[in-house]
Amino acid sequence: MIGTMKKIAVLGSGTVGEVLANGLLKYGYEVMRGTREVGKLAEWHAKAGSSASVGSFAEAAQFGDVVLLAVKGTVAEEVVAALGSSLDGKTVIDATNPIADAAPENGVLKFFTGPNDSLMERLQKAVPGAHFVKAFSCVGNPFMVNPDFAGQKPTMFICGNSSAAKQQVSTILHQFGWDIEDMGAATAARAIEPLCMLWCIPGMTRGSWTHAFKLLRK
């Protein structure tokens, strides 16, 4: 059963986790950031205000009504598997991408998944009782919260097996200033995750990182 959404756990001590945690605090959520090394987040914690806290991955997962996964893709399966049943019944926002450690080729990132596979599907299989929703994976962190493109809202593509979980995530995305396109079940992550490759090519090849995707309709 998917319940309230007042407390949100943000797993990951990197820039994506920081940007999203700050955005959630801005819109009135209580946020606990989960990390393997609590000391890494001491400076952030000191500045983030009374609604912010820091703990281990396990402590944050227990705290959150909703969990946001913002760890490196190569460790995402390990982190999720370790949390196991503590994620059961919760919406888990999956902001990860399956980026391999190998160097890009002509500006194209390399993935450790194949065309008929996705990282989010692997995560969902690891914890079947959780409700994974792919989001925030197709844009750079400077534009994740309240992106400003001359008054036009860019499109965030989401997917997941639970309609209720996607509705929770959509609430946050609307607060963050996004148009939303629900692409269906978790298998659609096979199409959404590679948008990260496409988004990065202008940056990798021309140093241009100030863009986002927009789905247009007649």
Residues 117-176: tens digit of each pLDDT:
999 999 999 999 999 999 999 999 999 999 999 999 999 999 999 999 999 999 999 999
- Say if residue 2's pLDDT is above 90: no
pLDDT at 1: 54
pLDDT digits (tens, 9 = 90+) for 17-68: 999 999 999 999 999 999 999 999 999 999 999 999 999 999 999 999 999 9
Residues 6+ apart with CB under 8 A from 52: 21, 25, 30, 31, 32, 33, 44, 45
For residue 55, list its beta bridge partners: 34
**Token pair of 134, please?**
């792919």
Asked whether the beta carbons of 144 and 123 are under 8 A apart, the reply is: no
- CA-based torsion, 145, 147, 148, 153: positive or negative: negative
Give the whole-angstrom CA distance, residue 136 versus residue 144. 7
Gap between the Cα atoms of 138 and 195, Å rounded: 5
Q: Place domain 7-206 in its CATH homologous superfamily.
A: NAD(P)-binding Rossmann-like Domain (3.40.50.720)
pLDDT for the residue numbered 96:
98
Distance CA 87, CA 60 (A): 11
pTM: 0.97
- Predicted confidence at residue 4, as pLDDT, reads 74
| Sign of the CA dihedral with 74 first, then 57, 42, and 53 last | positive
Distance separating alpha carbons of residues 91 and 130, to the nearest angstrom:
6
Which pLDDT band holds residue 3 (cuts at 50, 70, 90)?
low
